[in-house]
Chain A
Amino acid sequence: MTDTETKLLEFIQENVPSFQIDLEKDGDTPLNQLGVDSLDKMSILLNVQEHWNKEFTPDEIGELKSFLDICRAAEKQ
């Protein structure tokens, strides 16, 4: 896992302690299909924004569905 992926996994597990992910299989699967509900996603995205000093617009947030979507957004310059 990259540093970004490791950090994101940590943020998700703060909200959903049992969360595990096989990136090859589920990296592009919407998080809500992996047991992350809408409130947890809100909290995770807030942590991502604070950690990587980003501000996602509502439209961008709508596009952040999967684990890898969020990683790519976090790494985007």
Chain B
Amino acid sequence: MSKSTRILKIASYLPSDVVDSMERARKFGYERDFLEQKLGTTSLTVKPPGTAASDMCVEATKALGLPEDELSKVGLVVVCTQTPDGHGIPHTSAIVHRKLKLAETCACFDISLGCSGYVYGLAVVTAFMDAQGIRRGLFFTSDPYSEIVDPEDQATSLLFGDASTVTLLGAEGPGWMLTDAVFATQGTGGDAINNYSGKLAMDGRGVFNFAMTAVPKQIRSLFEKCGGSLEEMDLVVLHQGSRYIVDKLRERLKLPAEKVPVHLDGIGNSVSSAIPLTLEAALREHPDAKRVLISGFGVGLSYATGILQSCE
């Protein structure tokens, strides 16, 4: 089976409603500087009341701007979410399928992953499309965490913003191929981010220590597997957990700031959407980039790192 599926375009939806984090921050004794310099944003996007993950996917599709006859050719819809419509039955991708009026021959399934979901999802979606000969696919990320964040919780209420992205994949045309990837999980620490009580809970220190120790090792292991080096990457797009995590990882990886975009301002940590949102903005700003490393890490203490290579 030859690899031909590539990313053709990424589009996104950011709700226009925002929460001013300063109001919440004052309750916890934080100043504006802390929010700007450590968290990377003083406001968070929040979906309009009554909307769900699938609605955000539909909005992202509108931003993609595909003509109707192109939409009818879509043979695969995958939604990466851990905050699905309803309680996950039916799967959100089937709801998106209905709302976009896609063909019956279109395969649909969801992937339940958080911050590592874009890298895992890309690997699954591209392999599925290659294996099945599907020539057009839509891979969504959509996690409206505002549904599960407790505004009184100091560990989470200043961090997470709602967002959705869609990645258009196809078998031909200029784009980006996932050439190599590595995947891992530290399930023993997987409770560090959980929704056991119906509200998001996070052990910030546990997640920080995990990210600082596991991610650099995984990046090194990727290059041991596929050759090349981190220095050869034009861009390194890390999961946008917070500005502090991105900065500290960049320091550990000894990378210059211009190679490691930070894309949190006005949004917050958008979970599985953080990498595609950052990638979308970074590729617009760096049209000459040829090789991009993407690395996601978080919920479940799941982590994944891959290399995207531009292709014709």
* Chain A contact residues, CB within 8 Å of chain B: 37, 39, 42-43, 46, 50, 58, 61
Whether a CB of chain A sits under 8 angstroms from the CB of B173 is no
A37–B209 CB distance below 8 A:
no
Question: Could you write out 19 A-B pairs with CB less than 8 Å apart?
Answer: A37-B34, A37-B38, A39-B38, A39-B208, A39-B242, A42-B204, A42-B205, A42-B208, A42-B209, A43-B208, A43-B212, A43-B244, A43-B248, A46-B208, A46-B209, A46-B212, A46-B213, A58-B205, A61-B205
B279 to chain A, nearest CB (A): 25
Assembled-state Cα–Cα distance A39/B36 (Å): 13
Known: A39-B242, A42-B208. 14 other contacts (CB 8 A): A37-B34, A39-B38, A39-B244, A42-B204, A42-B205, A42-B209, A43-B208, A43-B212, A43-B244, A43-B248, A46-B209, A46-B213, A58-B205, A61-B205
Closest to B207 in A: A42
Which A residues are in CB contact (< 8 Å) with B244? 39, 43
List, in ascending order, chain B residues with CB within 8 A of A61's CB: 205
**How distant is the Cα of A37 from the Cα of B38 in the complex, in angstroms?**
10
Q: Which residues of A contact B205 (CB under 8 A)?
A: 42, 58, 61
The A interface is mostly helix, strand or loop, or mixed, namely helix
Overall SS of chain B's interface: helix
Within 8 A of A (CB), among B233-288: 242, 244, 248
Q: Scan residues 138-171 of chain B and give those whose CB is less than 8 A from a CB of chain A.
A: none
Contacts of A58 in B (CB 8 A): 205
Q: Please, which residues of chain B bring their CB within 8 A of the CB of A39?
A: 38, 208, 242, 244
How far apart are the CA atoms of A46 and B244 in the complex, in Å? 14
A-B residue pairs, 4 tightest by C-beta: A39-B244, A42-B208, A39-B38, A42-B205
Nearest Cβ on chain A to B221's Cβ, whole angstroms: 19
Report Cα–Cα, A61/B38, bound state, in Å: 21
Distance in angstroms between the alpha carbons of A12 and B212 in the assembled complex: 17
What residues on A are CB-neighbors of B242 within 8 Å?
A: 39
A39 to B248, CA, bound (A): 11
Distance between Cα atoms of A69 and B244 in the complex (Å): 25
Contacting residues, chain A, for B212 (C-beta < 8 A): 43, 46
The smallest beta-carbon distance between B297 and chain A, in angstroms, is: 15
Complex Cα–Cα for A42 and B34 (A): 15
CB-nearest residue of chain B relative to A61? B205
Chain B residues with Cβ below 8 Å from A43 are 208, 212, 244, 248
Bound: A61/B208 CA distance, A: 14
**Minimum CB–CB distance for B119 against chain A, Å:** 24
Complex-state Cα separation, A39 to B158, whole angstroms: 14
* A39, A43, A61 pick with most chain B CB within 10 angstroms: A39
Closest to A45 in B: B205
- Per-residue interface assignment for chain B, residues 27 to 44, with 1 indicating a CB less than 8 Å from any chain A CB and 0 otherwise: 000000010001000000
* Docked pose: A29 CA to B134 CA in angstroms: 63
Task: Write out the residue numbers on chain A whose beta carbons fall within 8 Å of the beta carbon of B34.
Answer: 37
Q: Closest CB of chain A to B216's CB: distance in Å?
A: 12
Contacts of B204 in A (CB 8 A): 42
